Protein backbone atom coordinates (compact mmCIF):
# COMPACT_ATOMS: atom_id res chain seq x y z
CA UNK A 1 0.00 0.00 0.00
CA UNK A 2 1.34 3.44 -0.97
CA UNK A 3 1.90 5.77 2.00
CA UNK A 4 0.97 9.43 1.54
CA UNK A 5 3.67 11.92 2.48
CA UNK A 6 3.24 15.27 4.22
CA UNK A 7 3.70 18.11 1.73
CA UNK A 8 5.08 20.41 4.46
CA UNK A 9 8.19 18.26 5.06
CA UNK A 10 10.93 17.23 2.60
CA UNK A 11 10.20 13.70 1.41
CA UNK A 12 13.53 12.19 2.45
CA UNK A 13 13.18 13.56 5.99
CA UNK A 14 9.69 12.16 6.44
CA UNK A 15 10.77 8.76 5.10
CA UNK A 16 13.81 8.66 7.38
CA UNK A 17 11.65 9.59 10.39
CA UNK A 18 9.22 6.80 9.47
CA UNK A 19 12.09 4.30 9.38
CA UNK A 20 13.49 5.55 12.70
CA UNK A 21 10.09 5.17 14.37
CA UNK A 22 9.88 1.60 13.10
CA UNK A 23 13.35 0.83 14.48
CA UNK A 24 12.51 2.40 17.84
CA UNK A 25 9.24 0.46 18.09
CA UNK A 26 10.92 -2.84 17.23
CA UNK A 27 9.22 -3.38 13.87
CA UNK A 28 12.70 -3.35 12.34
CA UNK A 29 14.89 -5.18 14.85
CA UNK A 30 18.61 -5.00 15.53
CA UNK A 31 20.75 -6.78 12.92
CA UNK A 32 17.73 -7.28 10.65
CA UNK A 33 17.41 -5.96 7.10
CA UNK A 34 15.08 -3.03 6.46
CA UNK A 35 12.93 -2.85 3.29
CA UNK A 36 14.90 -2.53 0.05
CA UNK A 37 15.15 0.64 -2.04
CA UNK A 38 12.63 -0.79 -4.50
CA UNK A 39 10.14 -1.60 -1.74
CA UNK A 40 10.49 1.88 -0.25
CA UNK A 41 10.11 3.52 -3.68
CA UNK A 42 6.81 1.68 -4.15
CA UNK A 43 5.60 2.34 -0.62
CA UNK A 44 6.16 6.11 -0.78
CA UNK A 45 5.76 6.58 -4.55
CA UNK A 46 9.10 8.39 -4.88
CA UNK A 47 12.25 7.85 -6.93
CA UNK A 48 15.48 6.15 -5.82
CA UNK A 49 17.27 9.45 -5.25
CA UNK A 50 14.83 10.39 -2.46
CA UNK A 51 15.11 6.96 -0.84
CA UNK A 52 18.90 7.10 -0.96
CA UNK A 53 18.83 10.51 0.73
CA UNK A 54 16.70 9.03 3.52
CA UNK A 55 18.96 5.99 3.92
CA UNK A 56 22.09 8.17 3.93
CA UNK A 57 20.58 10.21 6.76
CA UNK A 58 19.87 7.04 8.77
CA UNK A 59 23.41 5.82 8.13
CA UNK A 60 24.92 9.13 9.29
CA UNK A 61 22.75 9.08 12.41
CA UNK A 62 23.99 5.59 13.23
CA UNK A 63 20.68 3.74 12.86
CA UNK A 64 21.65 1.49 9.93
CA UNK A 65 24.67 0.16 8.05
CA UNK A 66 24.52 -0.45 4.28
CA UNK A 67 26.18 -3.53 2.78
CA UNK A 68 26.88 -3.53 -0.95
CA UNK A 69 24.60 -5.93 -2.76
CA UNK A 70 22.82 -6.94 0.46
CA UNK A 71 20.86 -3.88 1.57
CA UNK A 72 20.75 -1.96 4.85
CA UNK A 73 20.72 -3.55 8.31
CA UNK A 74 19.67 -2.10 11.67
CA UNK A 75 22.61 -1.42 13.96
CA UNK A 76 22.90 -2.71 17.50
CA UNK A 77 22.21 0.51 19.36
CA UNK A 78 23.98 1.08 22.65
CA UNK A 79 21.90 2.74 25.35
CA UNK A 80 23.33 6.12 26.42
CA UNK A 81 25.56 6.05 29.49
CA UNK A 82 24.23 8.17 32.35
CA UNK A 83 27.16 10.28 33.51
CA UNK A 84 26.82 11.79 36.97
CA UNK A 85 28.19 15.32 37.14
CA UNK A 86 28.91 16.59 40.64
CA UNK A 87 31.62 18.50 42.48
CA UNK A 88 33.74 15.34 42.84
CA UNK A 89 32.96 13.57 39.55
CA UNK A 90 35.66 11.32 38.09
CA UNK A 91 35.26 9.48 34.79
CA UNK A 92 36.84 6.26 36.13
CA UNK A 93 34.68 6.20 39.25
CA UNK A 94 31.51 6.86 37.24
CA UNK A 95 32.20 4.01 34.84
CA UNK A 96 33.21 1.58 37.57
CA UNK A 97 30.02 2.35 39.49
CA UNK A 98 28.06 1.51 36.33
CA UNK A 99 30.06 -1.66 35.74
CA UNK A 100 31.20 -0.38 32.35
CA UNK A 101 34.55 -1.32 30.80
CA UNK A 102 36.41 1.94 30.19
CA UNK A 103 39.75 3.26 29.04
CA UNK A 104 41.51 6.61 28.68
CA UNK A 105 44.11 7.29 26.00
CA UNK A 106 46.44 10.29 25.93
CA UNK A 107 46.39 11.57 22.34
CA UNK A 108 48.89 14.38 22.82
CA UNK A 109 50.37 16.80 25.34
CA UNK A 110 52.37 20.01 25.28
CA UNK A 111 53.78 22.59 27.66
CA UNK A 112 53.48 26.23 26.70
CA UNK A 113 52.08 29.64 27.51
CA UNK A 114 48.35 30.01 28.20
CA UNK A 115 45.79 31.45 25.81
CA UNK A 116 43.69 34.42 26.90
CA UNK A 117 40.78 32.12 27.74
CA UNK A 118 43.05 29.85 29.80
CA UNK A 119 44.58 32.85 31.59
CA UNK A 120 41.12 34.14 32.50
CA UNK A 121 39.81 30.82 33.80
CA UNK A 122 42.94 29.72 35.67
CA UNK A 123 43.82 33.25 36.89
CA UNK A 124 47.29 33.12 35.33
CA UNK A 125 49.67 35.71 33.94
CA UNK A 126 50.77 35.46 30.31
CA UNK A 127 54.18 34.13 31.41
CA UNK A 128 52.94 31.27 33.61
CA UNK A 129 53.33 27.98 31.72
CA UNK A 130 50.57 25.38 31.42
CA UNK A 131 50.30 21.73 30.45
CA UNK A 132 47.73 21.05 27.73
CA UNK A 133 46.49 17.46 27.25
CA UNK A 134 44.16 15.82 24.72
CA UNK A 135 42.50 12.74 26.24
CA UNK A 136 40.27 10.27 24.39
CA UNK A 137 37.96 8.17 26.57
CA UNK A 138 36.33 4.88 25.61
CA UNK A 139 33.49 2.75 26.97
CA UNK A 140 33.13 -0.87 25.91
CA UNK A 141 35.80 -0.24 23.27
CA UNK A 142 33.93 2.65 21.62
CA UNK A 143 35.12 6.28 21.73
CA UNK A 144 32.89 8.36 24.00
CA UNK A 145 34.60 11.72 24.44
CA UNK A 146 37.68 13.76 23.68
CA UNK A 147 38.77 16.33 26.25
CA UNK A 148 41.24 19.19 26.21
CA UNK A 149 42.59 19.66 29.73
CA UNK A 150 44.76 22.58 30.80
CA UNK A 151 46.64 22.80 34.13
CA UNK A 152 49.16 25.32 35.50
CA UNK A 153 52.70 23.96 35.47
CA UNK A 154 53.25 25.16 39.04
CA UNK A 155 50.45 22.85 40.24
CA UNK A 156 51.78 19.75 38.44
CA UNK A 157 55.55 20.26 37.93
CA UNK A 158 57.31 17.72 35.69
CA UNK A 159 53.98 16.19 34.73
CA UNK A 160 55.53 14.66 31.59
CA UNK A 161 57.37 12.13 33.76
CA UNK A 162 54.06 10.52 34.72
CA UNK A 163 52.46 10.66 31.26
CA UNK A 164 54.60 7.89 29.77
CA UNK A 165 52.25 5.12 30.93
CA UNK A 166 49.06 7.15 31.01
CA UNK A 167 45.88 5.55 32.35
CA UNK A 168 44.07 8.18 34.41
CA UNK A 169 44.86 11.88 34.80
CA UNK A 170 43.14 12.13 38.17
CA UNK A 171 45.04 9.12 39.47
CA UNK A 172 48.29 10.86 38.50
CA UNK A 173 47.16 14.03 40.26
CA UNK A 174 46.24 12.10 43.39
CA UNK A 175 49.24 9.76 43.52
CA UNK A 176 51.99 12.23 42.65
CA UNK A 177 50.65 15.66 43.62
CA UNK A 178 48.10 14.83 46.33
CA UNK A 179 45.53 16.84 44.39
CA UNK A 180 41.83 16.01 44.39
CA UNK A 181 40.16 18.61 42.13
CA UNK A 182 36.68 19.86 42.99
CA UNK A 183 34.34 21.02 40.23
CA UNK A 184 33.36 24.65 40.63
CA UNK A 185 31.33 25.06 37.44
CA UNK A 186 30.36 23.42 34.15
CA UNK A 187 28.79 24.97 31.06
CA UNK A 188 26.83 22.73 28.67
CA UNK A 189 26.41 23.40 24.97
CA UNK A 190 25.17 21.38 22.02
CA UNK A 191 27.34 21.79 18.94
CA UNK A 192 28.68 20.05 15.86
CA UNK A 193 32.11 18.42 16.06
CA UNK A 194 35.23 19.77 14.41
CA UNK A 195 36.69 17.50 11.75
CA UNK A 196 39.48 16.20 14.00
CA UNK A 197 37.02 15.47 16.84
CA UNK A 198 34.59 13.70 14.50
CA UNK A 199 37.46 11.54 13.28
CA UNK A 200 38.62 10.35 16.72
CA UNK A 201 35.02 9.96 17.96
CA UNK A 202 34.19 7.97 14.82
CA UNK A 203 31.09 9.98 13.95
CA UNK A 204 30.02 12.03 10.91
CA UNK A 205 30.56 15.80 11.13
CA UNK A 206 26.81 16.45 11.07
CA UNK A 207 26.07 14.47 14.25
CA UNK A 208 25.65 16.75 17.32
CA UNK A 209 27.93 16.46 20.33
CA UNK A 210 27.60 17.70 23.90
CA UNK A 211 30.34 20.14 24.86
CA UNK A 212 31.04 20.62 28.57
CA UNK A 213 33.39 23.41 29.64
CA UNK A 214 34.48 22.89 33.25
CA UNK A 215 36.64 24.55 35.87
CA UNK A 216 38.11 22.49 38.69
CA UNK A 217 39.55 23.94 41.88
CA UNK A 218 41.93 22.80 44.59
CA UNK A 219 39.99 22.22 47.83
CA UNK A 220 41.66 25.42 49.09
CA UNK A 221 40.06 27.35 46.25
CA UNK A 222 42.83 27.76 43.65
CA UNK A 223 41.85 26.99 40.05
CA UNK A 224 43.92 23.99 38.94
CA UNK A 225 42.19 22.58 35.85
CA UNK A 226 40.26 24.01 32.93
CA UNK A 227 38.77 21.51 30.47
CA UNK A 228 36.55 21.29 27.42
CA UNK A 229 34.99 17.86 26.83
CA UNK A 230 33.34 16.99 23.52
CA UNK A 231 31.04 14.02 24.05
CA UNK A 232 29.07 11.87 21.61
CA UNK A 233 25.42 12.77 22.03
CA UNK A 234 24.27 9.28 21.02
CA UNK A 235 26.20 7.59 23.84
CA UNK A 236 25.80 9.97 26.74
CA UNK A 237 23.24 11.59 28.98
CA UNK A 238 24.17 13.74 31.94
CA UNK A 239 22.77 13.68 35.47
CA UNK A 240 23.64 16.83 37.41
CA UNK A 241 23.67 16.46 41.19
CA UNK A 242 23.27 19.43 43.53
pLDDT 10s per residue in the chain (242 long)? 556 666 667 888 999 999 999 998 999 999 999 999 999 999 999 999 999 999 999 988 888 999 988 999 998 776 777 777 777 777 777 777 777 788 999 999 999 999 999 999 999 999 999 999 999 999 888 899 999 999 999 999 999 999 998 999 999 999 999 999 999 999 999 999 999 999 999 888 878 899 999 999 988 888 999 999 999 887 777 777 76
39 and 92, same domain (yes or no): no
- The count of domains in the chain is 2
108 and 182, same domain (yes or no): yes
156 and 93, same domain (yes or no): yes
Q: Minimal CA–CA distance to 83: which of 135, 139, 141?
A: 139
Q: Minimal CA–CA distance to 53: which of 29, 22, 19?
A: 19
Helices within the chain (DSSP H only)? 11-24, 37-44, 48-60, 91-98, 116-122, 169-177, 195-201
Q: How far apart are CA 171 and CA 186, in angstroms?
A: 21
Task: Assess contact for 139 and 235: CB atoms under 8 A.
Answer: yes
Q: How far apart are CA 100 and CA 119, in angstroms?
A: 36
63 and 95, same domain (yes or no): no
| Residue 114 in domain | yes
Amino acid sequence: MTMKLNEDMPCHLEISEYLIRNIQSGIFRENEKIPSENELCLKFNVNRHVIRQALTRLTNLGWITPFQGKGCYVNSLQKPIQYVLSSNTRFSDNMENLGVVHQSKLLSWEKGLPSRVEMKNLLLSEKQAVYRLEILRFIEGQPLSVTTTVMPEEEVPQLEIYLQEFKSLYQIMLDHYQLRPVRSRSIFQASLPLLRDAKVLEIPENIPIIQIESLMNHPTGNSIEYSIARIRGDMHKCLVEF
